[in-house]
Each structure stands twice: as C-alpha cells, then as structure tokens.
C-alpha cells in the first residue's frame, strides 16, 4: 500500500518532468493565436466582473478586443508592474499603485505616455468632462521636484474622497441632533463627551494604516496653514517645529484625551473599523467613499450621514483628501497606443461611467455621470470640490518623514509622545534626509 | 493503527493532566476552524453581527456560489497539478541530495551543503525582480514550468536540511549489510535510505504541500493567463481592495483547506508507522 | 599490466565520484538557476541606489551598509523579531515537545489529536487575523471578557494597541500558529528512535524518566537542533500575522525585519537599500544558525 503510493508519485513526477516543458509551450503558442488587441492590467479584484463586461461591451461596439487581466492583491500587482518594467514587458494599459516619486520614475523611464495633447484636443473636450480635482494626481505641474515634463499622464476611471460619517441612530440614542453633525472642533469634542456619557464608542478608522492618519493630519494642516505653507515645509523652508504644525499634532492629543477614539484604533486595520461602524458599535467613522458599498453589504439598514472634517481655523477652507480613485496609464512603448487612448476615452464617457458607478458603487470620474448615485454617494460627490491631495504639490515629502508623522501620531494618541517631541523628531529626520539626498544628487 | 508504547502513564492523575492539556490545546486549535465554517454559512450582513457559532439559517448555497463565482473548477485542477509536481519533484531531488550529503563522500561536499543552508536565510523580498528577469530570459514567463521550478528551489533547501538530519540517524550497519548484499549507491538510496526516511519525507511533503497550495505572489508574477493560475487567484475575487465578501470568502477558504487536511491525514500515517515498518520491508 | 589496472581504478573512481555528484545534480542545477542567480542580484543591488523602477542604478559602494548601522527602526525591528523568536524557542517548542510526547505514546484518541494540532498552520492568514483581532479587541474582546469574568477587569485593555503588550500578543498568535510545525517534526523524530533502544533500557530496569533522559534526549538532539533552527528562521521572517493585525504599530512597537524591508522597498522607493537590509538580515541569520549547528556537533561528540 505504502509502496504503491510512492511508486505512483514517482511515475507522476517522471511523466511531468518530461511533459511539462512542452505543455508550457503549448499554452504559450495557443495564446499567441488569439492575442487580444489591447491588454490591460488591473488590481481591482472586486470589480473584475464589471470590467469584463465593459470589455465585452467595447468589443461589440468597436470590434476591438480588450483583455483585462487581474493581479491581486495590490502588493502582488505592484511587484508585477515593477518587474515587468525591468524586462520591458508592460501591457498597453496599466496602473501604478505608488507614490508620486515612483510615478515620476516610471514616466522618466519612458513607460508612461503624456496624454496632454489628447486631453487638450478639441477645446479640451476630454479634460473638461472630469471633476476638476480628478486629474490632479495624474498631473505634473511646472518646475516639479522630479524633473518630469509638465503634463497629464493618466486617466482616472473613478474618484474618491475621505470624510467623516456618523450613525444617526446612535446620535439619537445619545440625545444628539441627527441632522446636525459637528462642524467645528469644539462641537466635535462636545459630541465625543455626549457619546461617552451614553457609553457609546466614538470614532473608528483604520489608523493602523498610517496613510489614513496622515490623511486627517493633512486635512487639519491645510485648514490651519494653507497649501503654501505646507509646500514651504516640504521644501524645508518652514520647520515642523512651527507652532502651526504643533497645533496639528496637538489636535490628535486632544482627540486621544477626550475619549473620542475607539479603543484599539491606532492598530486597527480599516476593514475592522468598517465592521465596527457597520454593526453600530461606533457612532463615528473616518472613511473613504468606497465605504458606502461596504456598509451596504454588511448592514443594509445602517442609518448614517456624511460630514466634512471639523473646522479648526477660519483662515483657510476646510478640505478633504481626495482625487482619482483608480487611474490608468498608457504604456508609451506600446504598439497600440492610439487604440489604448481611444479605449480610455470611451470608458470615461458618460454612458460607461454611469454603468461603472452603478455596478461598483464608486464615484464616477466623469462629472456628468452623477445621475444615478445613491444619496450617500451624492454627499461624497458634493465634496469633490473640497478635495486636496499631497500629490498635487510640485514637491513631495520624504517617505521617512511621512512614516515618522503617522507613527508619531499613533503614539501621541496613546499619550506616549507629546506633539512637541514629534515635531522635533520629524524635523531631525527631515534634515537627515535632506542631507542624504543632497549627497546622492551631487554624485 | 499500531503504536508501540514507550511511556506508560499508569496513575489516574497523570492521565487526567495529560488529557486536560491535550483537550485544552485541541480546543484552541479547532475553534477557528469551526468559526470559519460557521461564518461560511452566514451572510455578509450576519458574519459580524450573529455571534452564534452556527447560524439558525444555514446558507449552504454559499459553498456552491463560492465555487462557481471563483471558477474553482479550473483553479483546483491547476493547484493540484502544481502541488503534485512541485512536491513530487522536490521530494526526489532533495532526498537524493540529502542522501549524498549524509552518506557519500565527494570534494566540496561541505561547501555545497553550506550553500544550500545559506539559501534558507535570505528573505524573499527583493528577489522577485531578478527572478522575473531570469524567467523572461529563459522564456518561462507565463508557463507552468516557470512557476514550478522556482518553487522547487524555494522548498528544497529546507527539505534537504530536514532530510539530512534524518538520514544521519540511519545506523551504519544497515548500510553496510546492504552493501554486502551487493547494493550500489542507487540501491542503498532506493531500497534502504528512502524507505527508512519515510517519516521525514512525510514531513517534507506535508510542509511543502501547504506552502505550494497557498502560494500566490509568485503565481501573480509568473502568469498573466488566468487559465494557468492556482487556487488563491480564485479566492481573490472575494477580497477587493476595499470590499471583502466575508461569507463567500470563508466558504471558499473552507473548500481550499480540505485537500490540505486530507494530505496531512494520509501523510501522518507514515510519520507514525515510522522506522520499524520501513525497516522490515527494506 | 600494471598501468592498465591503475587506469581501471581511476576510471572506477571517476565513475564513483560522478555517481555521487549525480545525486546532487538536479537539486544543484535548480538551485544555481533559481536560487543563486537572484541571490547574487540581491547582493549586487545592495551596493546601489535604485528606486526599483529607473533604468539606471547608481553605484554607491558600501554606503547603504554604513547607513544601516544608524538605522534605529531597523535594529529595533531585529530586536522585536529576536524577542518573538526567544519566546517561540522556549514556549512554542516546549508545547510542541510535550504534545508530541503525549501523542507518541499509546493514548486513546491519539489520531484525532495528531490531526487537530496541525490545524493552525493550515488556517489562512485572514481567518487568523479576524479571530485574534476579536480576542484582543479592547471593547468587545474575548480576552477582556474572560478577565472580567475572573474579576481582573483592571487588566483589560486594547491589547494590540498598547505598546506594553502588543509585541507579546503578536508572539502568542505566532506561537499558536506555529507549534504545529514543530509538533510534526518532533513526532517524526520520536518515531524514528529504534524501539529496541527502549526495550534494552527497560531490561536494564530504567523508569520513565531515565528512559527519557538516557534514550529520547540523546537520540533527539539533531531533531531538536533542526526544530530550533526552523523556529528561528520562521519567526525572524514573521510578517503575515503583523500585516493582518497591527501593521507594525503602535508606533514602531511591532515592526519586524520583513515589514522594514517592505517599507524601504515600496514605501520609501529604496530598492537598493531594501536589498542591503535583506543581506544584513540573511547574514545574521546565517551566523546564528551555523553557531547552533556547531554547538550541536560539539554536543554530539560529548
């Protein structure tokens, strides 16, 4: 019996060693026969079915075959794109899931087509149909730090922004006005107090993921000191020890002390935060527009509203993080460049945008496609005019400084660090990084 | 199943303690499995709101939905194929190599062995670019063999290490008597060492089956054709960047776990039947 | 006559060596191709400044290696992994050994237990993250609930968000998920001990404890070393559990080498430096493992 299994195994192995190279070749050559005209790599596993439908639709309309290929999760997708760049085997259309720095590197290596001429053609017909802010992440402005030629390098297929949400039922339970979410930080703290008195958990968010903390910190910073001063800080002209920055950090200190934040929030992954809010175990959430779909799945009866971050100062407007949700780039080395651009034009047309947003419950990037949105998504859509994103600035902060900020705020929230300590630490690291990059650039 | 008893616990207290430990640990191990299975029978809206281990309304259809929605049929075939070939190849190559490192003498033996040991140490991140460039040069991108060979490599260093440890334990006199009987090196390997190392081989099979069965990072790198990808690709459908369909995901995960447990069930017999059974046949 | 026979010996010797090399040939070829080549590439990249995308790489010599010495978070993360490894070496392996010994003997239900103990390694990371997240949760967590039940409310906390407890909590998850590996190997090792040795000891009138000390332990030393090295390797490369629970937080409290390497590679776009970290990491692991092997060899000789 035992020997039989081992004998069987050995036969299988031998057979396979002989046959597998050929089988590999067979599958390769058969693939060549039916090679699709356009290959698109995407990472949006939850939209796979919808994208396949879109591809089919395009083929029936134009006769051009489009193949969406999914690589997920995003970590695997990132690996695939980077590795393919090294062997020059990127597909016709793909996405770059990385910071501006990496995006710029892809452009400089010649992997991304500049779409400005197409966007500006016919009186900027294509460009105009997008939300104004939708293109900001794909736009490189003049004199940017990365020496990328100014232009638009990507096409967003949806937009997103990150705001606060509140549970109306829990607000009612705590005796709060369900139609008046807090607008200022003082009101925000008053809400926290009320919730705490009624033993209701306050705010949940995925602050274990650093970018979500930094997102709120950026909102505050924009509101307190405005874009110019933030840019000056990034350029190294204003230190992080500036009172305005310390004010930003101290807001988190206040939030931590007020008991507003749900326990365990600083190591919470966003999916856990979404479960908590959807199941009415927390009254407030800080989350992106994708959450509408998530909450709908987990608790269709959830009664909630959307509101902007609380106002800190009157000097500058209240903003939210946002812009393109997912955007595609055209491979500048592709043989089917024109066809690829045509397809991206088609997918951002009103009809397809409505279809996509209906099927995937995301905000369309085409601002004329808002007709069928759910009330919650409409609220998110109306905030698109308030969106900002660090990548719209010509300069980017060093990744180490950004990391220090997110992690430092985590520590501030649990009282392990003071805002002043964090400011000093960030400034120190900032100076180190500036020195280091100077050294490299000289070389 | 026959197990020779070495230690006999005679007094009742000892038995009580032993069983308490066993049952306590067993509960801690089995609970997540029940939870996973129970969640697979719930819906997206009840997974995190209904705390009963098994819900009142069992949604058995989740299993069929998961199976069809994730195209499990195709991916199952691929995964079985990759697992059998990779682990099969790995077992033969690494037993041969471990046998040589343990039983034979040749120049550079220790240096070569050290090289294999070094391979276990360097962590994977960072290697993927070089690996992809290599596979492209060899025209192995998007082929089954291009997925199998790197995985054999990933598993064999540890396998050789485990197997050598066990080969070292085989008594010399058994080998000598085989040699007197006229066995050459291949004979000793095939008729003596291989059967005697069955427990260790079973361990290697168990470990590597699990690793290959769950592998997806390499698959995403090597393949672009959906039809060549393994099972975890199917599960990805339920885990979006933002949206996770928990009930279906749990149903899918429950399905994928079954073959691995089966492999373990079969293989643990070889661990237990151990050296005595092998020696009799050798 | 004479030269001919010498020739014969030479030929047979060459043949003999060739067969010996044939045994390692398949493994070696695969290794050279898919192991050594990427391995050398990692080394090569570790002396470059490269973002992982650009077509050109800037040679920086040993600058990355000099930089790593003053990389505080990196060495912190090494310490964290070492701490988890230490806990795993002691508790995880002790548990694995006790269970293997218990199941190795003639016990009712041994089969069922053997299967159950291997379940945690089989479980997918998502399930592990969800279950343990729920156990450790600050408000609705099982652990706090039990503590309340035992009258120890004052100990209740958000276990993963408290820098004092987060790393140990991660270690507990890791050990729970990992002891099944050690259990399987130790079981195989115990089964590999010839039963005749025990019978001989019994004839000499040895009791349970004497049999354990005089037969089991000496025979198991190589397997112990194997399990220890595997524990260290497996634990130092811990990543999945952290990604599913804390993401390295709060602050840097649960950062481990792999999260740092990924942070350099993806977050900071410093592929070259990430490779430097990988090399340094590998060298340290190698030194630890080789030292262990040395010690075990010495022990065997004694």
- Residues A193, A309, single domain; the answer is yes
Q: Looking at the partner chain, which of C102, C192, C286 has a beta carbon nearest the beta carbon of B275?
A: C192
Q: What confidence tens digit (pLDDT) does each residue in B69-91 have?
A: 888 999 999 999 999 999 999 99
- Residues A155, A78, single domain; the answer is yes
- Residues A148, A270, single domain; the answer is no
Q: Looking at the partner chain, which of A3, A16, A76 has a beta carbon nearest the beta carbon of B85?
A: A16
The reported pLDDT for the residue numbered A18 is 47
- Residues A354, A385, single domain; the answer is yes
In chain A, which residues have their Cβ closer than 8 Å to the Cβ of B84? 9, 12, 16
**C85 near C289, Cβ under 8 Å?**
no
ipTM exceeding the 0.95 mark: no
Q: What confidence tens digit (pLDDT) does each residue in A353-370 have?
A: 999 998 888 999 999 998
In chain A, which residues have their Cβ closer than 8 Å to the Cβ of B270? 2
Alpha helical stretches, state H, chain B: 12-40, 61-69, 72-103, 109-121, 128-137, 144-167, 172-180, 185-187, 194-196, 198-214, 217-222, 231-236, 246-281
Q: What confidence tens digit (pLDDT) does each residue in C81-97 have?
A: 999 999 999 999 999 99
Distance CA A10, CA A27 (A): 25
The residues that bridge with A66 in the sheet, in sequence order, are: A38
Residue A58 falls inside a structural domain: yes
Q: How many domains does chain A have?
A: 2
- Residues A49, A136, single domain; the answer is yes
Contact yes or no for A399 and C54 at CB 8 A = no
Q: Is B48 helix (H, G, I), strand (E, B) or coil?
A: coil
User: Which candidate, B33, B73, B87, B61, places its Cα nearest to that of B253?
Assistant: B33
Contacts of C280 (CB under 8 A, 6+ apart): C65, C68
CATH annotation of B71-236: 1.10.3720.10
Number of Cβ within 10 Å of residue A301's Cβ equals: 8
The chains found to touch C (3+ Cβ pairs under 8 angstroms) are A, B
Contacts of B163 (CB under 8 A, 6+ apart): B94, B95, B98, B99, B102, B197, B200, B201, B204
Residue C54 falls inside a structural domain: no
B262 — contact with chain C (CB < 8 Å)?
no
**A50 near A360, Cβ under 8 Å?**
yes
Rounded to a whole number of angstroms, the distance from the CA of B113 to the nearest CA of chain A is 25
Q: What confidence tens digit (pLDDT) does each residue in B173-201 have?
A: 888 888 888 888 888 888 888 888 888 89
For range B162-176, the mean pLDDT:
84
Distance CA A158, CA A359 (A): 12
Q: Between A and B, how many residue pairs show a Cβ–Cβ distance under 8 A?
A: 134
Domain residue limits at A119: 36-159+324-392
Residue C38 falls inside a structural domain: no
pLDDT at A143 over 60: yes
Q: Which of residues 88-127 of B touch C (CB under 8 A)?
A: 92-94, 96-97, 99-101, 104-107, 112, 115-123, 125-127
Distance CA B53, CA B35 (A): 6
Contacts of A73 (CB under 8 A, 6+ apart): A43, A45, B236, B239, B241
> C139: which 2 tokens?
């408000």
> A163: which 2 tokens?
């705001």
Give B279's pLDDT tier (boundaries 50, 70, 90): very low
- Residues A141, A170, single domain; the answer is no
Residue C253 falls inside a structural domain: yes
Rounded to a whole number of angstroms, the distance from the CA of C131 to the nearest CA of chain A is 11
**A330 near A112, Cβ under 8 Å?**
yes
Alpha helical stretches, state H, chain C: 2-30, 37-45, 63-69, 72-87, 93-104, 110-116, 119-122, 125-136, 142-149, 166-192, 195-203, 208-211, 217-236, 240-245, 257-262, 271-301
The number of residues in chain B equals: 282
Q: Which of residues 43-62 of B touch C (CB under 8 A)?
A: none
Distance in Å from the first CA to the final CA of chain A:
68
Residue A333 falls inside a structural domain: yes
The residues that bridge with A329 in the sheet, in sequence order, are: A94
B236 — contact with chain C (CB < 8 Å)?
no
Distance CA B245, CA A295 (A): 12
Residue A55 falls inside a structural domain: yes
Contact yes or no for C52 and A266 at CB 8 A = no
pLDDT at B119 over 70: yes
Q: Looking at the partner chain, which of A3, A76, A291 has a beta carbon nearest the beta carbon of B220?
A: A76
The reported pLDDT for the residue numbered C8 is 64
Average of per-residue pLDDT values in chain B: 86
Number of Cβ within 10 Å of residue A272's Cβ equals: 23
Q: Please identify, among A392, A416, A434, the residue that sits at the C-terminal boundary of a domain.
A: A392
B26 — contact with chain C (CB < 8 Å)?
yes
Compare all CA atoms of chain A with the CA of B247 and give the residue at the minimum distance: A298
- What A14-17 contacts at long range (C-beta under 8 Å, 24+ apart), as own/partner pairs, is A16/B84, A16/B85, A16/B88, A16/B89, A17/B89
Domain residue limits at C250: 71-301
The chains found to touch A (3+ Cβ pairs under 8 angstroms) are B, C
C268 — contact with chain A (CB < 8 Å)?
yes
The chains found to touch B (3+ Cβ pairs under 8 angstroms) are A, C
Q: What confidence tens digit (pLDDT) does each residue in A253-281 have?
A: 999 998 889 888 899 889 889 989 999 99
Rounded to a whole number of angstroms, the distance from the CA of B29 to the nearest CA of chain A is 23
Contact yes or no for B134 and C265 at CB 8 A = no
Q: Between A and C, how many residue pairs show a Cβ–Cβ distance under 8 A?
A: 102
The reported pLDDT for the residue numbered C111 is 78
Q: Note the pTM of the prediction, 2 decimals.
A: 0.89
Kindly tell me the burial class for residue C33, based on how many C-beta atoms sit within 10 Å of its own C-beta (0-12, 13-18, 19 or more). middle
Q: What confidence tens digit (pLDDT) does each residue in C11-35 have?
A: 888 888 888 889 999 999 999 988 8
Which residues of A lie inside 8 Å of C (Cβ-Cβ)?
75, 78, 82, 85, 98-99, 101-102, 105-106, 108-109, 201, 208-210, 262-269, 272, 281, 399-400, 403, 407-408, 410-411, 414, 416-417, 436, 440, 443
Alpha helical stretches, state H, A109-167: 116-128
Q: Looking at the partner chain, which of C54, C67, C137 has a beta carbon nearest the beta carbon of A105?
A: C54
Contact yes or no for A267 and C166 at CB 8 A = yes
- Residues A317, A329, single domain; the answer is no
**Which has more pLDDT, C299 or A163?**
A163
Q: Is C21 helix (H, G, I), strand (E, B) or coil?
A: helix
User: Which candidate, C256, C252, C257, C262, places its Cα nearest to that of C281?
Assistant: C257
Distance CA B251, CA B259 (A): 14
- Residues A193, A342, single domain; the answer is no
Cα angle A313, A319, A320; round to 5: 135
User: Which candidate, B224, A135, A404, B271, places its Cα nearest to that of C263?
Assistant: A404
Q: What confidence tens digit (pLDDT) does each residue in A4-17 have?
A: 555 555 555 555 54
% of chain A residues with pLDDT over 90: 68
Q: CATH number, domain at C133?
A: 1.10.3720.10
Distance in Å from the first CA to the final CA of chain B:
21
Contact yes or no for B22 and C121 at CB 8 A = no
Q: Is B191 helix (H, G, I), strand (E, B) or coil?
A: helix
Residue C42 falls inside a structural domain: no
Q: What confidence tens digit (pLDDT) does each residue in A76-134 have?
A: 999 999 999 999 999 999 999 888 889 999 999 999 999 999 999 999 999 999 998 89
Q: CATH number, domain at A266?
A: 3.40.190.10
C247 — contact with chain A (CB < 8 Å)?
yes
**B142 near A28, Cβ under 8 Å?**
yes
Rounded to a whole number of angstroms, the distance from the CA of B12 to the nearest CA of chain A is 37
Distance CA C24, CA B163 (A): 13
User: Which candidate, C238, C200, C222, places its Cα nearest to that of C92?
Assistant: C238
Q: Looking at the partner chain, which of C49, C251, C254 has a beta carbon nearest the beta carbon of A440?
A: C49
In chain B, which residues have their Cβ closer than 8 Å to the Cβ of C180? 29
Q: What confidence tens digit (pLDDT) does each residue in A375-389 have?
A: 899 999 999 989 999
Q: Domain extents for chain B?
A: 71-236
Contact yes or no for A20 and B217 at CB 8 A = no
Contact yes or no for C28 and B125 at CB 8 A = no
Distance CA C245, CA C128 (A): 9
For range A334-350, the mean pLDDT:
94
Number of Cβ within 10 Å of residue C286's Cβ equals: 16
Distance CA A262, CA A181 (A): 18
Residue A56 falls inside a structural domain: yes
Q: How many domains does chain C have?
A: 1
In chain A, which residues have their Cβ closer than 8 Å to the Cβ of B145? 20-21, 23-24
pLDDT at A21 over 50: no
Q: Looking at the partner chain, which of B143, B236, B281 has a beta carbon nearest the beta carbon of A72?
A: B236
pLDDT at B233 over 60: yes
Contacts of A90 (CB under 8 A, 6+ apart): A41, A81, A84, A111, A331, A333, A334
């Amino acid at each position: 019996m035992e020997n039989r299994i081992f004998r069987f195994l050995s036969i299988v192995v031998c057979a396979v060693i002989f046959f597998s190279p050929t089988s590999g070749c067979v599958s390769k050559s058969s693939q060549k026969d039916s090679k699709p005209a356009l290959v698109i790599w995407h990472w949006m596993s939850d939209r796979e079915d919808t994208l396949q439908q879109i591809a089919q639709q395009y083929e029936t309309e134009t006769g051009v075959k489009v193949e969406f290929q999914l690589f997920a999760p995003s970590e695997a997708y990132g690996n695939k794109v980077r590795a393919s760049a090294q062997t020059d085997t990127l597909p016709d259309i793909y996405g770059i899931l990385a910071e501006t720095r990496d995006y710029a590197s892809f452009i400089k290596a010649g992997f991304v087509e500049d779409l400005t001429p197409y966007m500006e053609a016919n009186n900027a017909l294509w460009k105009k149909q997008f939300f104004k802010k939708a293109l900001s992440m794909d736009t490189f402005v003049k004199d940017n730090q990365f020496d990328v030629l100014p232009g638009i390098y990507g096409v967003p297929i949806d937009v997103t922004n990150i705001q606060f949400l509140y549970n109306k039922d829990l607000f009612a339970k705590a005796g709060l006005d369900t139609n008046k979410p807090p607008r200022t930080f003082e009101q925000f703290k008053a809400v926290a107090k009320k919730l705490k008195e009624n033993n209701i958990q306050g705010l949940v968010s995925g602050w274990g993921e650093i970018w979500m903390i930094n997102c709120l910190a950026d909102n505050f910073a924009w509101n307190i000191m405005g874009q110019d001063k933030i840019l000056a800080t990034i350029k190294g002209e204003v230190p992080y020890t500036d009172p305005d920055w310390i004010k930003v950090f101290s807001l988190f200190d206040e939030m931590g002390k007020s008991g507003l934040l749900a326990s365990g929030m600083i190591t919470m992954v966003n999916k856990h935060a979404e479960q908590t809010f959807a199941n009415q175990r927390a009254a407030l959430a800080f989350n992106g527009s994708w959450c509408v779909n998530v909450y709908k799945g987990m608790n269709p009866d959830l009664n909630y509203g959307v509101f902007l971050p609380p106002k800190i100062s009157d000097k500058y407007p209240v903003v939210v993080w946002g812009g393109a949700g997912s955007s595609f780039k055209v491979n500048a080395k592709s043989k089917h460049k024109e066809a690829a651009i045509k397809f991206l034009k088609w997918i951002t047309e009103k009809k397809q945008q409505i279809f996509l947003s209906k099927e995937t419950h995301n905000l369309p990037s085409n601002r004329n496609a808002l007709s069928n949105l759910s009330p919650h998504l409409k609220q998110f859509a109306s905030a698109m005019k308030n969106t900002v994103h660090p990548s719209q600035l010509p300069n980017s902060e060093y990744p180490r400084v950004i990391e220090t900020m997110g992690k430092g705020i985590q520590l501030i929230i649990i009282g392990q660090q003071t805002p002043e300590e964090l400011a000093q630490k960030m400034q120190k690291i900032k100076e180190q990084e500036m020195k280091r990059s100077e050294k490299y650039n000289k070389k | 199943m026959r197990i020779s008893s070495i230690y006999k616990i005679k007094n009742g207290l000892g038995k009580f303690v032993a069983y308490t430990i066993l049952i306590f640990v067993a509960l801690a191990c089995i609970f997540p499995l029940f939870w996973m299975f129970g969640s697979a029978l719930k819906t997206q809206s009840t997974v995190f709101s209904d705390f009963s281990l098994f819900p009142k309304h069992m949604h058995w259809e989740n299993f069929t939905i998961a199976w069809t929605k994730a195209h499990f049929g195709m991916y199952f075939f691929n995964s079985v194929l990759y697992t059998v070939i990779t682990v099969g190849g790995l077992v033969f190559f690494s037993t041969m190599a471990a046998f040589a490192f343990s039983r034979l003498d040749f120049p550079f033996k220790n240096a070569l062995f050290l090289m294999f040991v070094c391979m276990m140490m360097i962590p994977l991140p960072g290697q993927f670019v070089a690996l992809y460039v290599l596979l492209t040069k060899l025209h192995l991108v998007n082929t089954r063999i291009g997925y199998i060979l790197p995985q054999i490599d990933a598993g064999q260093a540890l396998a050789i290490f485990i197997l050598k440890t066990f080969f070292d334990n085989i008594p010399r006199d058994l080998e000598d008597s085989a040699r007197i009987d006229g066995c050459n090196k291949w004979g000793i390997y095939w008729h003596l060492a291989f059967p005697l190392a069955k427990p260790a081989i079973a361990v290697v099979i168990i470990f590597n089956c699990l690793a290959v069965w769950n592998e997806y990072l390499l698959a995403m790198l090597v393949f672009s054709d959906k039809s060549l990808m393994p099972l975890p690709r199917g599960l990805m459908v339920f885990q979006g960047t933002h949206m996770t369909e928990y009930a279906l995901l749990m149903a899918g995960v429950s399905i994928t776990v079954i073959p691995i447990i089966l492999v373990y069930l079969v293989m643990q017999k070889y661990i237990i039947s151990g050296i005595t059974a092998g020696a009799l046949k050798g | 006559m004479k030269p001919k026979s010498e020739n014969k010996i030479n030929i047979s010797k060459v043949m003999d060596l060739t067969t010996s090399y044939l045994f390692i040939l398949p493994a070696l070829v695969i290794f050279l191709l898919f192991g050594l080549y990427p391995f050398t590439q990692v080394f090569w990249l570790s002396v470059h400044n490269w973002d992982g995308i650009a077509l050109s790489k800037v040679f920086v010599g040993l600058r990355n290696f000099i930089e790593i010495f003053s990389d505080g978070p990196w060495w912190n993360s090494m310490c964290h992994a070492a701490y988890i490894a230490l806990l795993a070496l002691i508790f995880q392996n002790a548990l694995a050994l006790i269970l293997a010994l218990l199941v190795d003997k003639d016990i009712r239900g041994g089969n069922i237990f053997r299967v159950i103990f291997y379940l945690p390694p089989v479980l997918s990371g998502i399930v592990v993250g969800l279950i343990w997240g729920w156990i450790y949760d600050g408000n609705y967590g099982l652990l706090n609930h039990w503590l309340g039940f035992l009258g120890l409310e004052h100990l209740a906390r958000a276990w993963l968000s408290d820098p004092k407890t987060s790393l140990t909590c991660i270690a507990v998850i890791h050990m729970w998920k990992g002891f099944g590996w050690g259990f399987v190997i130790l079981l195989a090792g115990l089964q590999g001990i010839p039963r005749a040795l025990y019978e001989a000891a019994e004839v000499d009138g040895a009791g349970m404890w004497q049999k354990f000390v005089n037969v089991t332990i000496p025979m198991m030393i190589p397997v112990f070393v194997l399990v220890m090295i595997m524990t260290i390797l497996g634990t130092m490369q811990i990543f999945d559990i952290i990604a599913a629970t804390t993401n390295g937080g709060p602050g840097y409290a649960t950062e481990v080498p792999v999260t740092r390497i990924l942070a350099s590679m993806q977050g900071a776009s410093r592929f070259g430096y990430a490779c430097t970290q990988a090399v340094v990491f590998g060298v340290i692991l190698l030194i630890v493992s080789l030292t262990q092997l040395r010690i075990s060899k010495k022990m065997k000789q004694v």
